[in-house]
Amino acid sequence: MKYLNDFLVYLKNELNYSNYTIKNYELDIYDYINFCNENKIDIYDIKYDEVKKYLINIHNKKYKSSSVSRKISSLRTFYGYLYDNNLINNNIFKFISSPKKEKKLPKYITNDDINIIFDIPDISTVVGIRNRLIIELLYGTGIRVSELCNIKLNDIDFKNKSIRILGKGKKERNVFYGTKCNDILNLYLNNSRNILLKNKSNDYLIVGTNSNGKMFSTRSVELIINDIIKKASLNKKITPHVFRHTFATHLLNEGCDILVVKELLGHSSIDTTGIYTHISNERLRHVYLNSHPRAKK
């Protein structure tokens, strides 16, 4: 499509979206373009009845409501881009509501399992030190995997143990790390990073043997996490994002204010952070039922 490549560049450079998100947008829009072409619909002058026809089409394909919401969001952003650049007369997807989200509690790692996971990387090796730092940062700060890979050395305030993070929509925030993370960070910088780089130059904190000045890939982090979980014999699906869920859940369980957690996670709305309170409430319920004399079975 004529303006699609320009839109994808806009997502990358202006909105600072991750490569994964951009790829999903691209696939969603290509799917939509194919539908319009097959049904002889003018993409630049689409009518409401034609949009309705498209929505019925994706509904009939039995997509999850979250996938339908993402497709609508992709098209809403794309048409917003076209409208803002005077390429269409109106953004019809602005008036299309997303389906009600399925309420799913985010997965998180228990305290026992988190301790097992941290024991897996062998910090007597340069790679083990780096891998331990990756999970320390994911769990200790709650950052997204794309944000982790994007950390540069000059983003770190070593004195105050804080890191400047550039999140979604180029929204900047500071996150903090504790003593254990600080110890492994110093070990990594003094004993591991230069060996991995083979004395080559690189501005990014997390590096590999083939970094060559480039950012460490999110896929590489995923593979490292998969390997750690496999060695831990946990038999659970734990992705880098689960560490973010765990960070938020454990803070709330320990009594941290939800507004503080919201800021640390970089959420724009308290509603997004609110899902973690359901987990905390479940824990409170469990503790009550097992502790109160008149509640025990």
Catalytic residue among 168, 173, 231, 278, which? Answer: 168
- Asked if residues 117 and 228 have their Cβ atoms less than 8 Å apart, the reply is yes
Q: Is the dihedral of CA 10, 12, 17, 19 positive or negative?
A: positive
Residue 286 designated active-site: no
Residue 144 designated active-site: yes
Catalytic residue among 244, 245, 250, 262, which? Answer: 244
Residue 193 designated active-site: no
Catalytic residue among 70, 132, 144, 245, which? Answer: 144
Residue 267 designated active-site: yes
Any idea which residue has 């950052």 for tokens?
A: 143
Residue 283 designated active-site: no
Residue 219 designated active-site: no
Q: Which residues are catalytic?
A: 144, 168, 241, 244, 267, 276
